[in-house]
A and B are shown apart, each in its own frame.
Chain A
């Protein structure tokens, strides 16, 4: 629906940029505030020009040891993603290339486990975690994130495998390739972009997950979501520090998301939208 009219195009551009700016503004404002002093951060009217300072970043690090939390986030997100892929790739392979009457039902059932509200099982999981000593451990969180992301990961990889032409695999098999060779040398390279975008989404979802991490961790395994939540009860002036902490918490994943947005769409919609 490209408009031929020049002035119309200007208007559309202006409108779209205004929308983009409004949507991005809270993030931008947070970023700007993180370089202000606490006094400047709450100044009326808001200051647009000021001398930037890195003081907040230093303070936040001193107060809450950002790197411990960030490291937990990295370990837990990546760990859960690796485990989910290890479980999902074989399952998706079997369902995509050797479908049975049950395959569709199995896939839908897997997705429906996502609909179980986490609160419904919060108490049992909490007690299980307490009794097994997995409460407030990274491995405990990794297990939970693996399981909550598994249905989506299976679905995504399944839909990527479905796009690989069966003929290629069959031709390879005719040439006498074993199943192992077929998977490792033909299928995985072909589906690698899909697997990568699945991994990206799983990492983003794990990084931002804030129900289990807030309820099951206190300190040792607490990821960045908990780090930020600890700033939710303010004592005195703290906006600039909060902004600095928030910027540090979201920057890695935001940049990650910017880079991978195109691949994410296909993954997020299980290949239903291309």
Chain B
């Protein structure tokens, strides 16, 4: 079942299918082949192994107790309520960070497109978080900003007489969303700002001459111009958000309870903490299927948006 979904969504084009009618196509084929073969292997070998393991009882701590168990791993994983919780958390995480980064990113792109003193420096500062490695950003937020006792946010709210919030205990998922948004908002800003800069200023002047209000200008001139850039941002961000890991790994460890366990973290718990190779492989295949469903929509919309 899983393999068929994979092939429908990803449909590896056999390199041999390229026409060899003209003599020039022959070197072309040879040049493309290494990349295609490398990626095919990268995709197929681990996937085949995952399918192989998924039908076995295989725990790294008990290697002798290895046997085929049919679909036992799948029934075990699929009936594990934690799996469904983690899928829900994955989707909430992806959707909310997408909305925040693209929404705010668009507004900030308009803002940073205005003339103001020191614009170049302000832009460089604003996009900096994108270059910070996820483990570092998670640790800064966890220890120095969101810490319930000594964190800056706690000190500020206490200073205002509001008491401190224990972010990772009381709002774990929101905390993760804030951290990931902080990392990726600069990315959306960077791309959308570049897209806005390519907007024809004459067009805007003309619209303004015609008496268009700023809001209408934004809605009917700027936003349509950005649609392609927004599609690109959404695609790249989704690729990365589906597999958010480091931010959870160094802050909440998936907790409290399952509050921040996304699918990536769920499988990680199964694989490297419980050493359950069979179960983790089955979970991994489910993640692949989920990603393929998302990819199906994304690749289609991107194919429409990018003329290659």
Binding site for B on A (CB under 8 A): 1-3, 9, 12-13, 15-17, 19-21, 23-24, 26-27, 29-30, 33, 42, 44-46, 87-88, 90-91, 93-95, 98, 100-128, 146-147, 150-151, 154, 158, 179, 204, 207-208, 210-211, 214-215, 224-225, 228-229, 231-232, 234, 239, 242-243, 246, 249-250, 253-254, 256-258, 261, 264-266, 268-270, 272-274
Query: A94-B27, A215-B268, A239-B144 provided; 14 other pairs, C-beta below 8 A?
Result: A1-B204, A12-B116, A26-B145, A33-B144, A90-B31, A93-B31, A101-B18, A102-B18, A105-B13, A122-B284, A123-B50, A150-B38, A225-B133, A261-B124
Question: Residue of A at shortest CB range from B183?
Answer: A208
B139→A232 contact, CB < 8 A = yes
Question: Residue of B at shortest CB range from A208?
Answer: B133
B128 / chain A contacts, CB cutoff of 8 Å: 23-24, 27, 254, 257-258
Question: Residue of B at shortest CB range from A265?
Answer: B194
In the complex, what's the smallest C-beta–C-beta distance from A266 to chain B, in angstroms?
Answer: 8
A91→B34 contact, CB < 8 A = yes
Interface-located stretch among B64-72, B74-82, B168-176, B239-247:
B239-247
B114→A9 contact, CB < 8 A = yes
B131→A87 contact, CB < 8 A = no
Q: Which of B17, B144, B217, B243 contacts A119 (CB 8 A)?
A: B243
A119→B267 contact, CB < 8 A = yes
Contact with A along B120-133 (1 / 0, CB 8 A): 01111111111111
Instruction: Flag whether B19 is at the interface (Cβ < 8 A).
Output: yes
In the complex, what's the smallest C-beta–C-beta distance from A177 to chain B, in angstroms?
Answer: 15
B144→A106 contact, CB < 8 A = no
Instruction: Flag whether B95 is at the interface (Cβ < 8 A).
Output: no
A123→B281 contact, CB < 8 A = yes
Question: Residue of B at shortest CB range from A215?
Answer: B272
Asked, given contacts A20-B123, A264-B190, whether A112 binds B299 with beta carbons under 8 Å apart, the answer is: yes
Indicate the member of A1, A24, A128 with the most B CB atoms within 10 Å.
A1
B49 / chain A contacts, CB cutoff of 8 Å: 121, 123-124, 127-128
A116 / chain B contacts, CB cutoff of 8 Å: 43, 47, 288, 291
B131→A114 contact, CB < 8 A = no
A211→B243 contact, CB < 8 A = yes
B291→A115 contact, CB < 8 A = yes
Q: Which of A115, A204, A242 contacts B131 (CB 8 A)?
A: A204
B229→A109 contact, CB < 8 A = no
Q: How far is the CA of A125 from the CA of B43 in the complex (A)?
A: 11
A94 / chain B contacts, CB cutoff of 8 Å: 27-29, 31-32
Instruction: Flag whether B88 is at the interface (Cβ < 8 A).
Output: no
A122→B133 contact, CB < 8 A = no
Asked, given contacts A147-B42, A256-B131, whether A269 binds B232 with beta carbons under 8 Å apart, the answer is: yes
Question: Residue of B at shortest CB range from A30?
Answer: B140
Q: How far is the CA of A154 from the CA of B85 in the complex (A)?
A: 36
- Chain B interfacial residues counted at CB < 8 A: 117
Q: How far is the CA of A103 from the CA of B144 in the complex (A)?
A: 49
Instruction: Flag whether B259 is at the interface (Cβ < 8 A).
Output: no
B11→A23 contact, CB < 8 A = no
Question: Residue of A at shortest CB range from B24?
Answer: A98
Question: Residue of A at shortest CB range from B250?
Answer: A232
Closest 6 pairs between A and B when the two form their complex, measured CB to CB: A13-B116, A124-B49, A121-B46, A257-B131, A210-B246, A90-B31
B144→A1 contact, CB < 8 A = no
B35 / chain A contacts, CB cutoff of 8 Å: 87-88, 90-91, 110, 150, 154
Instruction: Flag whether B219 is at the interface (Cβ < 8 A).
Output: no
In the complex, what's the smallest C-beta–C-beta distance from B128 to chain A, in angstroms?
Answer: 5
A20→B122 contact, CB < 8 A = yes
Asked, given contacts A26-B129, A26-B141, A44-B155, whether A120 binds B291 with beta carbons under 8 Å apart, the answer is: yes
In the complex, what's the smallest C-beta–C-beta distance from A218 to chain B, in angstroms?
Answer: 12
Instruction: Flag whether B185 is at the interface (Cβ < 8 A).
Output: yes
Question: Residue of B at shortest CB range from A33?
Answer: B144
A104→B308 contact, CB < 8 A = yes
Q: How far is the CA of A274 from the CA of B135 in the complex (A)?
A: 31
Sample (14) of A-B pairs whose CB atoms are under 8 Å apart: A1-B110, A21-B125, A26-B182, A87-B35, A108-B299, A112-B9, A113-B10, A115-B294, A119-B287, A179-B27, A207-B133, A211-B264, A253-B131, A269-B232
Instruction: Flag whether B254 is at the interface (Cβ < 8 A).
Output: no
B143→A234 contact, CB < 8 A = yes
